[in-house]
Amino acid sequence: MRTLLTGGIKSGKSSHALVLAGEFPEPRSFLATAQSLDDEMALCIARHQSEREGRYLTIEEPLMIHERLAENMVLDCLTLWVNNVLYYEKEAHFEPWLDSLVKGLPRNIVIVTNEVGMGFVPQDALSRRYGILLGRANSRIAAACDRVILMVAGLPLIVK
């Protein structure tokens, strides 16, 4: 089943993604978009790796996620993927990459993302552009998924 798992920061998305993906047949893979650019992110990545305890083949890919899709996968996360698109100044590739991602979704995948547009409108143009791109990605992926779950305070709420 194609599942989009969304919610706020630290709402339990990544942990719940592993629970859902645990129902997939083996082998399972984990497509990580995060990069260790500072000590805080390195600790976060290490914590997530320990949660997987070797149960997943980990694939690290910050940009070309559409080329690394596989059956029985967790993709964590679209939020950092959009960040990477902007960070590496690849915004011109965003729509074609998103098209390829949507068209290439395997039957069994859990995709993690954040709901950043539920709060205030950012003051700076880059942050507003980021919110627009992430909202577009979330909408397109949600439409292509069989199930959408919103995590609120660690609780999964079925949206679709």
**Active site (catalytic) residues:** 48
Please enumerate, as own/partner, the contacts of 64-68 that have beta carbons within 8 Å and a separation of 24 or more: 64/97, 65/31, 65/33, 65/97, 65/101, 66/97, 66/100, 66/101, 66/104, 67/100, 68/31
35 Cβ contact partners less than 8 Å away, ≥ 6 residues apart:
41, 60, 62, 80, 84
CA distance 37 to 145: 31
Q: Phi and psi dihedrals of 29, rounded to 5?
A: -125, 160
- Name the burial class of residue 78, with classes exposed (0-12), middle (13-18) and buried (19+) by CB atoms within 10 angstroms of its CB: buried
